[in-house]
């Protein structure tokens, strides 16, 4: 079972400069700064969160009008896409010969909301390792750790996204729908087991390859659900999900949000896979609720009573008392099991909505479900995400992001520390005169010991 995925006709990439030195920019260290950094490399291995200054060769490219300054070990091949949060390019990593995706995040500290989103996503992607979640391979070291405002993230490269597949003339059989849905649920089962709510599941955030492998991406709106720890998760009431995939309890300002909002989004995606068009393409929030009621029918009174906003409750009460639409009429080619699962996913009341464990065990997915190959994990540590509850300055966010980037170089820095000790030992051993040489040997042992400490 494969997909026919059309390739890009134009690369959208130009080499900005032939020279492969650090490019002149506000974030590039001056010659004096580089010289000072190189002279003091041996003394900077103090275990602080700051990363060492980058002195490796850098190659510059223009990708869709955006300048990419990357280590010369990466060769930009072509553009992948762009959005509100960055530009993505495909590149070859000469150290591994892998083809990867490099995402450039510009002006990372311009808006605090965006900065927090970036930090949150990077932390989550480091923690969430799963076959159906996009893999963040590394984050490139900034050219200047003191005032950088660009972040380069290196991801697994995927060929396209589910939205493009749905809009394409590519035929989608029921086996395609089952396999895509199963992979979404398999990844979400792991995400929910870690106590994380994605909050922005939609076809555009589901990356796929021609062999039908699927990976969930874009965790910028995700939240750790720490309500079980008797503390309200910060900003759980802010913007959640693109409107067409937004659960009714979010639109109608419910008492609280749970992992059920993700399951509603999964239902909308499943319906779109079967019908090849969005099931609830509302033009605004009011129209969105009207479209939902047209399909699901008028909600019961006990559901309406859970609506916190009197304005939203009044709007619902003015809607026609419609009966539910028969799903086999909307999806004539869907199997009875497929329609049954969709009905359980698109429940107006989140308490009656299928959980990820219930959905993945539904008869519709019997041929794919295998519990031993559906890994789960422990809930994430609340301490890692304490920044969510505090007002931080740009400098504090910059330091937290440097600490996050440093985690991808801990082994390299340990190895570099060992090399520093050897260099100091060699310098001490090269001291002038017989007496100096002897003294240098003694100092060498002390230096080596202190480095290991």
Q: Which residues are catalytic?
A: 200
Centre a 10 Å sphere on the Cβ of residue 26 and count the other Cβ atoms it contains. Answer: 10
Which DSSP string corresponds to 390-446?
S---HHHHHHHHHHHHHGGGHHHHHHHHHHHHHHHHHHHHT-SSHHHHHHHHHHHHH
Token pair recorded at residue 132 = 């159906």
304: closest CA among 249, 377, 263?
249
CA distance 185 to 266: 8
DSSP classification of residue 137? E
For residue 75, the surrounding DSSP H or E stretch is strand 74-83
Query: Quick one: which of 213, 77, 246 has its CA closest to 135?
Result: 213
| SS3 state at 382 | helix
Residue 225 parent element (H or E): none
Provide the Cα torsion 243, 249, 254, 258; round to 10°: -100
List beta partners, residue 62: 14, 67
Cα-Cα-Cα-Cα torsion 387, 389, 391, 395, nearest 10 degrees, comes to 0
| Torsional sign, CA 364, 185, 272, 367 | negative
Using the structure block, give the residue that is written with the tokens 């300048």.
67
Asked if 31 contacts 18 with a C-beta cutoff of 8 angstroms, the reply is no
Which position has the token pair 């060992």?
A: 418
Compute and round to an integer the Cα radius of gyration of the chain. 26
Please report the sign of the dihedral spanned by the C-alpha atoms of residue 286, residue 288, residue 294, residue 300.
negative
**If residue 289 lies in a helix (H) or strand (E), which one and from where to where?**
helix 285-296
3-state secondary structure of 57: coil
200 closest CA partner among 133, 245, 155, 136: 245
Sign of CA dihedral 177, 183, 184, 186: positive
Q: Give every strand in the sheet of 214-216, ordered side by side.
A: 160-161, 206-208, 214-216
Cβ partners under 8 Å of residue 222, min gap 6: 120, 121, 124, 196, 197, 198, 199, 200
């Amino acid at each position: 079972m494969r997909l026919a995925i059309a390739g890009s006709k134009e690369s959208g990439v130009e080499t900005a400069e032939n020279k492969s030195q650090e490019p002149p920019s506000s974030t590039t260290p001056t010659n004096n700064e580089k010289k000072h950094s190189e002279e003091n490399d041996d003394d900077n291995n103090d275990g602080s969160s700051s990363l060492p200054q980058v002195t490796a060769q850098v190659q510059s490219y223009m990708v869709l009008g955006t300048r990419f300054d990357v280590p010369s070990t990466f060769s930009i091949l072509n553009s992948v896409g762009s959005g509100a949060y960055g530009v993505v390019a495909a590149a070859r990593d000469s150290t591994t010969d892998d083809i990867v995706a490099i995402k450039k995040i510009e002006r990372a500290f311009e808006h605090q909301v965006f900065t927090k989103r970036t930090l949150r996503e990077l932390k989550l992607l480091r923690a969430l390792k799963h076959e159906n979640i996009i893999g963040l391979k590394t984050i490139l070291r900034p050219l200047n750790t003191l005032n950088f405002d660009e972040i380069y993230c290196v991801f697994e490269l995927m060929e396209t996204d589910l939205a493009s597949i749905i809009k394409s003339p590519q035929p989608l059989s029921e086996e395609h729908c089952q396999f895509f849905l199963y992979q979404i649920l398999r990844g979400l089962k792991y995400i929910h087991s870690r106590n994380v709510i994605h909050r922005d599941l939609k076809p555009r955030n589901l990356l796929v390859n021609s062999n039908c492998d699927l990976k969930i991406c874009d965790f910028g709106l995700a939240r750790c659900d720490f309500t079980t720890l008797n503390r309200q998760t910060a900003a759980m009431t802010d913007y959640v999900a693109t409107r067409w995939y937004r659960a009714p309890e979010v639109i109608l300002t419910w008492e609280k949000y749970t992992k059920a909002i993700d399951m509603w989004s999964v239902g909308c995606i499943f319906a779109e896979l079967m019908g090849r068009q969005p099931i609830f393409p509302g033009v605004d929030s009011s129209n969105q609720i009207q479209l939902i009621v047209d399909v699901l029918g008028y909600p019961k009174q006990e559901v309406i009573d859970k609506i916190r906003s009197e304005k939203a409750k009044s709007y619902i009460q003015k809607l026609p008392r419609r009966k539910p639409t028969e799903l086999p009429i909307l999806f004539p080619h869907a199997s009875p099991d497929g329609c049954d699962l969709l009905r359980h996913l698109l429940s107006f009341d989140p308490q009656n909505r299928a959980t990820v464990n219930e959905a993945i065990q539904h008869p519709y997915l019997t041929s794919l479900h295998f519990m031993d190959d559906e890994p789960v994990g422990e809930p994430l540590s609340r301490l890692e995400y304490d920044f969510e509850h505090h007002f931080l300055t740009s400098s504090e966010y910059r330091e937290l992001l440097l600490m996050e980037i440093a985690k991808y170089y801990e082994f390299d820095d340990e190895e570099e520390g060992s090399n520093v000790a050897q260099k100091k030992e060699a310098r001490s051993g090269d001291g002038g005169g017989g007496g100096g040489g002897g003294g240098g040997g003694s100092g060498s042992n002390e230096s080596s010991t202190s480095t290991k400490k």
